[in-house]
Structure 1
Amino acid sequence: MNTKSKILTATMAALLATTPIIGANYAHAADAAKATTEQTAAQETKAVDAQLNATEHKAIIKTMDEAYSALREIHGARLAIFNGSPDAAANLVKTAQADLQTANEKMKDFQVDKITPTLTNDAYVPFDTSMALTEGFKPTPEKQASLKTANEHLAKGESKKAVDELKLANIDVTISGAFIPAKASLSHVTDAGNLITKKQYYEANLALKAVEDSIVTQSFNIDEVPVQGATG
């Protein structure tokens, strides 16, 4: 065997010997890249979920500030009664009554359908909402770009655009809301005010509790968000 043949044979042998190592290294690098991509997708998912929960979603379901304030005042009035402070309770009830009066005046713009159970001749208005990726959603590298874009929209307060982006990628979002019946709530608070004037604090507390007991919490798929505003 001449010198050239010996060199060629040695070179081929060296290549054959190192091929399994090269193959193993490539496979390891591919696995690492996949893991990194999956990790990034998971991070984007957590970021989107956090933003969904933190963002005000007025573009999806408008919440009524007066209803939210009234419930805080009602809770405060119940605590005041419990702590033996009827004057403080009376003031809080008066403020809650004013807020609920405004809520009734605005309820046609805020009322929603699809709420169960429902009260006859009343309207349910939302005072709190939240959004989250549907439970059980598993991030994949294929959805990473959509998750990233949605997260960017949410960071700018563009919840509607974020939801549209997620829908295009078949990423389900759940909308949850808390609602109260506007007319019944005002009636209960008015009763509570009259009962406090009569020093019937136990009964007043029950009237206020009736408002808290009437709260309905309900969740909807993004494609089944209730219609908001009077329809007739």
Structure 2
Amino acid sequence: MTIVAPNTHMNRIEGGIRMRTMHVSRVFIMFLVAALGVVSAAAAATSTEGSKEEKILDKVSKEGFAAIQEVRHARVAIFDGQPQEAEDLLGQAKKNLSAVEKNAPAITVTVKAVEKVGGKTIDTKTTSETTELIPIDAGLVLSEDFVATPEKTAKIQEANKHLKKGDKTKAVESLRETDIAVSVSRVLMPLKSTVNSVDKAISLLKEEKYYEANLALKGVEDGLIVDTVLLSQPEPPAKAEKK
């Protein structure tokens, strides 16, 4: 599992070092995960390029991201002995979370479990549920053993160009052609528990219970979920024939 540092406005892949992360929009991540069968086709349909639903999801994600940043800054303010500043920051966080609650689209997550023995599929199970998790940050991660070559670098640059044009499908295909492991990492915010914790922290601040308020806000950060889904992996080398 790779934790991606918050940065939602970079649409580039770099190559040539041990670990590389490409930060992309949350809507792009929804598209990628849908393509993998992790999110239902219905959810993917609401994230088509330029659609009204896409803009809503992107707005909601930015508001959720802003709320988490305000929570973090509020904790710093409490530590610095600035309770009024912390209250003001949490007031802004509350406004952002209220907007998320009002506008967040329902997202249905479908998880497929495949059981294989000797390379053959013997059982497949599929479960679906509606989730309150809000994607607030995301990135594409190249494998740790990635070694840049002229061919791979060219494909990565090609993927960057496709992303710049908004062509998500071609970008993914270009990455797959690099024959390196590519994963998508997402930061998800559980909406209900986050709202409850912020409300609790606001009440505790008013009661001048600063230590307890900080713990409530720590719970917000601890509650964030980071998961990684493998998009593609290199083909294993062919086994040499025994003579």
TM band (smaller chain): 0.5 to 0.7
TM-score, structure 1 normalization: 0.62
Q: Report 1:105-116 matches (<5 A).
A: 105-109=102-106
1:122 and 1:183 in contact (8 A); partners too: no
Stretches of structure 1 lacking an aligned partner (at least 5 in a row): 1-43, 115-119, 224-232
Q: Alpha-carbon deviations, 1:13-54, whole Å to 9, x = none? A: xxxxxxxxxxxxxxxxxxxxxxxxxxxxxxx8549x86x615
Q: Alpha-carbon deviations, 1:85-120, whole Å to 9, x = none? A: 111111111111111122222333567566xxxxx9
Which protein is bigger by CA-based radius of gyration? Answer: 1
Partner of 1:82: 79
* Percent of paired sites with the same residue: 33
Query: Residues 90, 153 of structure 1: CA spacing in aligned structure 2 closer, same or farther, 3 A cutoff?
Result: same
Partner of 1:152: 161
Specify which of 82, 90, 95 is matched with residue 92 of structure 2: 95
Partner of 1:104: 101
TM-score, structure 2 normalization: 0.60
> Aligned partners of 2:144, 2:177: CA distance in 1, in Å?
18
> Aligned partners of 2:210, 2:193: CA distance in 1, in Å?
20
Specify which of 202, 218, 222 is matched with residue 209 of structure 1: 218
Partner of 1:229: none
2:62 is equivalent to residue 65 of structure 1: yes
More strand by share: 2
Query: Residues 112, 175 of structure 1: CA spacing in aligned structure 2 closer, same or farther, 3 A cutoff?
Result: same
Partner of 1:126: 135
Q: Alpha-carbon deviations, 1:92-149, whole Å to 9, x = none? A: 11111111122222333567566xxxxx996211111111223334556666664453
Query: Residues 142, 102 of structure 1: CA spacing in aligned structure 2 closer, same or farther, 3 A cutoff?
Result: same
Partner of 1:28: none
Query: Residues 77, 145 of structure 1: CA spacing in aligned structure 2 closer, same or farther, 3 A cutoff?
Result: closer
SS at match of 1:174: strand
**Residues 171-180 or 153-162, more deviating:** 153-162
2:137 and 2:187 in contact (8 A); partners too: yes
Specify which of 176, 179, 184 is matched with residue 185 of structure 2: 176
More helix by share: 1
1:104 and 1:182 in contact (8 A); partners too: yes
Stretches of structure 2 lacking an aligned partner (at least 5 in a row): 1-13, 31-56, 112-128, 233-243
